[in-house]
Structure 1
Amino acid sequence: MDTQKLSVEAIKNGTVIDHIPAGLGLAILRQFKLLQYGSAVTVGFHLPSKRGKRKDIIKIDGVHLDDDAANRLAVFAPNATVNDIDNFAVVNKRTLRLPESISEVFRCPNSNCASHSEPVKSFFSLRSIGEQTKFKCRYCEKTFGRDAVIEA
């Protein structure tokens, strides 16, 4: 008898975002509007991981993320993988790369920034310094850490 049991149900076709740091799955769902597709979404929180730590996982039925959308997830989960599923099998496994810029996802933490009072879409240049991600706002040109931008 097979004693292996899936903690989160398998999907036939779609995308699996795996190895999300535990506790960040809900933030990724919200920030990246993953519910907007109208597809079934399955989320697992604080699941055991073969890498030794706990993880979150998101499965989106019938939706395949392009490379740009997948790489935007690196802002939250740089070590996550995005798996394309076809007929219950992984057909493509992508590791994430931090994009050079990101727009329309976060607000600038600077309350004096023009992006708060003008009809413009937020836009940040991104760069990685060691383990840290830095966001530079196009409008006020201030640089912020990831946590400051996420909480804004």
Structure 2
Amino acid sequence: MSNKTELSVSAIKEGTVIDHIPANCLFKVISILGLDNCDNLITFGTNLGSNRYGKKAIIKVADKSFEKEDLNRIALVAPDARLNIIRDYEVVEKKFVTVPQEIIGIAKCFNPKCITNNETIITKFTLVNSNVMALKCHYCEKVTTEEHLKIL
């Protein structure tokens, strides 16, 4: 009998693995990356054991890489996530997501009277607090918190 543990989610030959997603954020990450409308092979697991979270989720996307803007989107809902770039079944690069100090065009202001919700203007926020994901709107100066955060 082997002393290696089995993978809970099968390996991919080429692509990206998004790991260390809080289990309750799995479907948010799938949605904000548009993976629910993607033709690539996608495997995910949730409620997997994690020393950090107790339970975590993981997403494996075959033959796909993600841009910096995608990493910023992930950071807004899963700030401790990391991406493993896979080539020929091996991890060739690890990327850690970080919440940027300035968030442009990827989040919606929760204030219905904000100009960004009434005219065609790209949203712009400054990070106030990454622990509770508080973003201050550049235009109306209202603070959008995690509970009201909508990713574009």
Interval containing the TM-score (normalised by the shorter chain): 0.7 to 0.9
Whole-Å Cα distance in 2 between the matches of residues 52 and 139 of structure 1? 35
Deviations 1:44-82 (A, max 9, x none): 111112546110111111111234432432211121111
Contact 1:41 1:59 in 2 (8 A): yes
Q: CA deviation at 1:139?
A: 2.5
Task: Specify the SS of the correspondent of 1:44.
Answer: strand
Whole-Å Cα distance in 1 between the matches of residues 60 and 25 of structure 2? 14
Report what 1:109 is aligned to. Answer: 110
Report what 1:133 is aligned to. Answer: 133
Gaps of 5+ in 2: none
Report what 2:21 is aligned to. Answer: 20
Report what 1:32 is aligned to. Answer: 33
Whole-Å Cα distance in 1 between the matches of residues 86 and 93 of structure 2? 7
Give the number of aligned pairs.
151
Contact 2:75 2:99 in 1 (8 A): yes
69-78 or 39-48, which deviates more = 69-78
Identity in percent: 34
Q: CA deviation at 1:26?
A: 0.4
Relative distance call for 1:40 and 1:127 in structure 2 (3 A) is: farther
Whole-Å Cα distance in 1 between the matches of residues 138 and 80 of structure 2? 27
Whole-Å Cα distance in 2 between the matches of residues 52 and 101 of structure 1? 27
Task: Specify the SS of the correspondent of 1:24.
Answer: helix
Aligned AA (2:134): K
Deviations 1:81-120 (A, max 9, x none): 1111111111111222211223343321111111222122
Q: CA deviation at 1:35?
A: 4.2
Whole-Å Cα distance in 2 between the matches of residues 51 and 115 of structure 1? 37
Task: Specify the SS of the correspondent of 2:70.
Answer: helix
Contact 1:101 1:124 in 2 (8 A): yes
Aligned AA (1:139): Y
Gaps of 5+ in 1: none
Report what 1:84 is aligned to. Answer: 85
Normalised to the residue count of structure 1, the TM-score between the two structures is 0.84
